[in-house]
């Protein structure tokens, strides 16, 4: 990247004597600190716009959650609300259940993700690129839809696998029951393991082979090299990924609500939803939300510090070729393990939903007399509610993505093109929504905007605010990295030729950022189109989305319709995700052939390293 030259004596209005008094190489005057360039009125106005926007999207709703936790029944202020955390058994049980589910999911994700990363990166196992790509595609598969697929497979009454096993072995009752905490952990581990797999595989890819070769040349066995060299190097990525899995599984809503509802098993998000039902106990929901925010923020700060501290220990200055471990006959065991992960996480649950979408009735055995090609799809799209929900989801996903891109562009411009002490705050503020679970942000938006004077309860506008706020971290990560690749002198040259700020952005900056903008936009569309957690909390019947309609269909046990709608959502998500992965892997000056060989490369590279 070209660095712009310092202009010490060519700035209009500068004192010529300052140039003669400068230090070596045209540095600042001896004994004087360099003067900071004063912000222009336009820069201050743009900074104010960014601050007000972020406050409206995230700051004000979260502040309302904190404030509501201190409001007494008579409208006064009190600390007694926090005593409810210790006095209400329902709340304590939900907290314990969340910790249990989170710990179990972390363990399950490690059992799946670690071996998969090792087999696909450091061994001669066949089909490695296929298995890495399959792990990435798991992101295109919403976990709550996967939970629906496992209900059809391992439901205690009519689950297909349970029925087959009972018939095969003559069992009197179902051998498996997915409606248990262990069932929830099983499903979550299968769909959150990429949070471990991706950073660990990236760390294994980046290890300087000289480190391991030096240890081996000194007589260390392969096991000792793995224990004393390889594992310590990948440990930061492993810990960071485990923290993300813990946070995600502790606050996830969809799978827990679907698999825990039949037995009354509740975690923090589901108990928050029950507290918001009529009559709502908003102050209790706020009390639960505050410690959640503090704990999650602390864990994410730890994760960020760990990830930031690993860069200088992994990659050497002159990388060599990594030695692959020859598994011999063990290759078949490795392939069987990786194939089992793909079958359990993708093929079985979503294949079951596909099959169910062609069935006339669940209680009857599979056969041509129980087959319909388009009946369930016609039923789904023939309902005005579902058609309206599909349109709402498209509009909200596109609108939230566009608004998030606009805010991210403004924030990136302030960081890279202006000089202010507050610029350091912008990066952290744009990542702050990561610490706010969808349930908590939804409650904050209800408190802030649902009632008068705004009166946005039950509207698409309140959903648009929620979607935009939640999309900011991912959007900013990629736009910020892309902006860092564009030298400021490119824009300065345009301005010096008479182009306005708006024309410079339209003709130069935005076209140069197009790959980052398209990739971030497509990924955000995938996430927002299927968004369930905030949508459930903000849903009133007048603002349906495909996720809330799907959730209601599952609650009514209309699984043939669930299967048809799930297939449509999955097809949209997979197509958009594949396009986004291709765009993310297209770095300046790099061939796209690598992207076609290994689609997981796109999401293996952290956004901050993409530049």
Q: What is the pLDDT of residues 87-133, one digit of tens each?
A: 788 888 999 999 999 999 999 999 999 999 999 998 889 999 999 98
Please provide the distance, in angstroms rounded to a whole number, between the alpha carbons at the two ends of the chain.
Answer: 11
8 A C-beta contact, residue 193 and residue 109: yes
Q: Is the pLDDT of residue 610 over 90?
A: no
Q: What is the mean pLDDT of residues 433-439?
A: 88
Q: What is the mean pLDDT of residues 365-380?
A: 87
Q: How confident is the model at residue 522 (pLDDT cuts 50, 70, 90)?
A: confident
User: Phi/psi at 317 (nearest 5 deg)?
Assistant: -75, -30
Beta bridge mates, 71: 77
DSSP string, 217-232: HTT--HHHHIIIIIHH
pLDDT above 90 covers a percentage of the chain that reads 42
The CA radius of gyration of the chain, in Å to the nearest whole number, is 27
8 A C-beta contact, residue 516 and residue 233: no
Q: What is the mean pLDDT of residues 379-401?
A: 93
Both tokens assigned to 29: 């005057």
8 A C-beta contact, residue 117 and residue 230: no
131 or 326: which carries more pLDDT confidence?
131
- Top-confidence range, 320-324, 414-418, 503-507: 414-418
Q: How confident is the model at residue 608 (pLDDT cuts 50, 70, 90)?
A: very low
pLDDT score for 86: 78
| Closest to 434 in 3D by CA, of 240, 191, 259, 287 | 240
Spell 7-32 as b/e; 16+ CB within 10 A means b. eeeeeeeeeeeeeeebeeeeeebeee
pLDDT score for 22: 42
3-state secondary structure (DSSP) of residue 557: coil
pLDDT score for 529: 93
8 A C-beta contact, residue 283 and residue 68: yes
Who contacts 199 (Cβ-Cβ below 8 Å, separation ≥6)? 237, 238, 240, 241, 307, 604, 606
- Domain spans, the chain: 40-141+177-315+327-609
8 A C-beta contact, residue 255 and residue 146: yes
pLDDT score for 45: 92
Q: Is the pLDDT of residue 35 over 80?
A: no
Burial of 417 (0-12, 13-18, 19+ CB in 10 A): middle
Who contacts 344 (Cβ-Cβ below 8 Å, separation ≥6)? 190
8 A C-beta contact, residue 560 and residue 362: yes
How many angstroms separate the CA atoms of 316 and 180, rounded? 47
Which of 157-166, 222-231, 424-433 shows the lowest mean pLDDT across its residues? 222-231
pLDDT score for 501: 78
Beta bridge mates, 359: 371
pLDDT score for 46: 92
| Closest to 207 in 3D by CA, of 307, 121, 284 | 121
pLDDT score for 585: 63
- Return the percent helix, strand and coil in the chain, to nearest 5: 70, 0, 25
Spell 150-174 as b/e; 16+ CB within 10 A means b. bbbbbbbeebbbbeebeeeeeeeeb
Q: What is the mean pLDDT of residues 2-7?
A: 38
Beta bridge mates, 123: 325
pLDDT in tens, 547-566: 999 999 998 888 999 999 99
Q: What is the mean pLDDT of residues 476-498?
A: 84
Find the DSSP H helices in 57-193: 60-68, 84-87, 89-122, 128-137, 143-154, 160-169, 181-192
Which of 247-261, 455-469, 475-489 shows the lowest mean pLDDT across its residues? 475-489
Q: Is the pLDDT of residue 250 over 60?
A: yes
Tell me how many degrees the CA angle 170-173-177 measures, rounded to the nearest 5: 125
8 A C-beta contact, residue 342 and residue 124: no
pLDDT score for 386: 92
In the 8-state DSSP scheme, what is residue 278? S
pLDDT score for 586: 57
Spell 233-252 as b/e; 16+ CB within 10 A means b. bbebbbbbbbbbbbbbbbbb
How many angstroms separate the CA atoms of 409 and 483, rounded? 9
Instruction: Confirm or reject CATH 1.10.3720.10 for domain 40-141+177-315+327-609, answering yes or no.
Output: yes
Both tokens assigned to 476: 């900013």
Taking all residues of the chain, what is their mean pLDDT, rounded to a whole number?
83
């Amino acid at each position: 990247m070209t660095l712009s030259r310092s202009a010490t004596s060519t700035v209009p209005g500068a004192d010529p004597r300052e140039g003669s008094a400068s230090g070596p190489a045209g540095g600042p005057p001896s004994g004087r600190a360099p003067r900071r360039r004063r912000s222009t009125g336009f820069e201050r106005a743009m900074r104010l716009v960014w601050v007000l926007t972020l406050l409206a999207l995230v700051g004000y709703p979260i502040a309302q959650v904190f404030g509501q936790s201190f409001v007494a029944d008579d409208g006064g202020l009190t600390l007694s609300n926090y005593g409810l955390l210790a006095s209400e058994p329902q709340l304590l049980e939900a907290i314990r259940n969340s910790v249990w589910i989170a710990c179990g999911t972390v363990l399950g994700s490690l059992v799946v993700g670690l071996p998969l990363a090792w087999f696909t990166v450091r061994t001669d196992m066949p089909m490695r690129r296929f298995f890495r790509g399959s792990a990435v595609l798991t992101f295109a598969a919403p976990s709550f839809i996967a939970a629906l697929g496992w209900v059809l497979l391992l439901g205690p009454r009519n689950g297909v696998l349970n029925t087959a096993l009972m018939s095969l072995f003559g069992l009197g009752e179902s051998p498996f029951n997915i409606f248990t905490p262990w069932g929830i952990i099983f499903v979550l581990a299968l769909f959150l393991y990429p949070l471990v797999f991706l950073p660990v595989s990236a760390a294994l890819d980046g290890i300087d082979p000289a480190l391991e070769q030096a240890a081996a040349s000194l007589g260390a066995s392969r096991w000792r090299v793995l224990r004393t060299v390889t594992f310590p190097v990948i440990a930061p990525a492993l810990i960071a990924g485990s923290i993300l899995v813990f946070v995600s599984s502790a606050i996830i809503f969809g799978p827990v609500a679907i698999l825990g509802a039949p037995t009354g098993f509740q975690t923090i998000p589901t108990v928050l939803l029950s507290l918001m039902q009529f009559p709502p106990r908003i102050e209790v929901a706020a009390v639960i939300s505050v410690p959640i925010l503090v704990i999650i923020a602390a864990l994410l700060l730890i994760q960020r510090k760990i990830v930031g501290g690993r860069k200088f220990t992994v990659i050497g200055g002159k990388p060599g070729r990594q030695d692959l471990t020859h598994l011999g006959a063990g290759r078949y065991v490795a392939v069987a393990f990786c194939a089992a992960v793909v079958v359990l996480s993708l093929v079985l649950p979503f294949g079951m939903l596909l099959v169910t979408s062609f069935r006339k009735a669940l209680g009857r055995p599979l056969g041509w007399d129980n087959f319909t090609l388009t009946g369930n799809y016609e039923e789904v799209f023939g309902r005005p509610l579902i058609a309206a929900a599909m349109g709402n989801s498209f509009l909200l996903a596109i609108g939230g993505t566009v608004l998030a891109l606009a805010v991210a562009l403004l924030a990136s411009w302030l960081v890279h093109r202006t000089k202010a002490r507050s610029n350091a705050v912008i990066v952290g503020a744009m990542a702050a929504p990561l610490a706010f679970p969808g349930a908590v942000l939804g409650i904050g938006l209800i408190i802030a905007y649902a009632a008068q004077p705004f009166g946005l309860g039950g509207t698409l506008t309140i959903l648009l605010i929620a979607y935009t706020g939640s999309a900011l971290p991912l959007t900013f990560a990629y736009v910020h990295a892309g902006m860092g690749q564009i030298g400021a002198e490119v824009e300065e040259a345009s301005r010096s030729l008479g182009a306005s700020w708006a024309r410079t952005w339209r003709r130069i900056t935005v076209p140069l950022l197009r790959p980052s903008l398209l990739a971030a936009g497509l990924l955000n569309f995938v996430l927002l189109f299927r968004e369930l957690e905030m949508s459930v909390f903000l849903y009133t019947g007048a603002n349906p989305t495909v996720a809330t309609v799907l959730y209601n269909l599952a609650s009514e046990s209309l699984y043939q319709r669930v299967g048809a709608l799930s297939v449509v959502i999955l097809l949209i998500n997979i197509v958009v995700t594949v396009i986004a992965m291709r765009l993310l892997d297209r770095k300046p000056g790099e061939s796209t052939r690598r992207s076609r060989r290994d689609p997981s490369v796109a999401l293996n590279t952290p956004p901050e390293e993409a530049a």
